[in-house]
Amino acid sequence: MTPAFIITVTSVSETQDLARELGAAIKSGDFIILTGDLGAGKTYFTQGLAAGLDVTAAVTSPTYTIVNIYGGRVPLYHFDLYRLNQPEELEAIGCEDYFFNNNGVVVAEWGDKFPGLLPDNYLTIHFHRLTNDADAREVKIIAHGKRARELADEIRAMSQQLALKIERA
């Protein structure tokens, strides 16, 4: 079992570099939840992940559209669930078609709002702003399921290669 761990990033570019490396490693069926306050870095992370998936379109937050779909090495389904309040709202847009298919990668900002609708296997990445530096973040990695533990192990190795600070959660 991979215990939760925290990576410290000191800039947007470090956040995107880590995500780009992860994007190169993820595959269809992978599911990632991004959590953290508004402006914590979730969309920047998704932009880096998309670059690793060879997405060429500009990646923006789908706050008002709920989901943006991007073509790349595998499709990227980018959800922003901030504006939703009830599970029925998510079900109404057909989340099962995305959450439980193996045709692409799902990234769900604020996905922790609806734990009953999540697949059994997912990775949670939580962003926490550090008060001493406007661009610094603690990025907590929590694996739920076998494939998510494999991804967490890959993130740990990538973080070491990028010379990022890693500590146990």
What CATH number should be reported for the domain holding residue 25? 3.40.50.300
CB within 8 Å of 24: residues ≥ 6 apart? 52, 53
Residue 58 phi/psi, 5-degree rounding, is -70, 130
Query: 60 lies in which domain range?
Result: 5-168
3-state secondary structure (DSSP) of residue 147: helix
* This model's pTM is above 0.85: yes
Domains held by the chain: number: 1
- The one-digit pLDDT tens for each residue of the chain (169 residues) are 567 999 999 999 999 999 999 999 999 999 999 999 888 889 999 999 999 999 999 998 877 788 899 999 999 999 988 888 888 887 888 778 888 877 899 999 998 998 888 898 999 999 999 877 788 999 999 999 999 999 999 999 999 999 899 998 7
Closest CA to 73 of 47, 90, 54, 58: 54
**CA atoms in the 13 A half-sphere facing the CB of 121:** 15
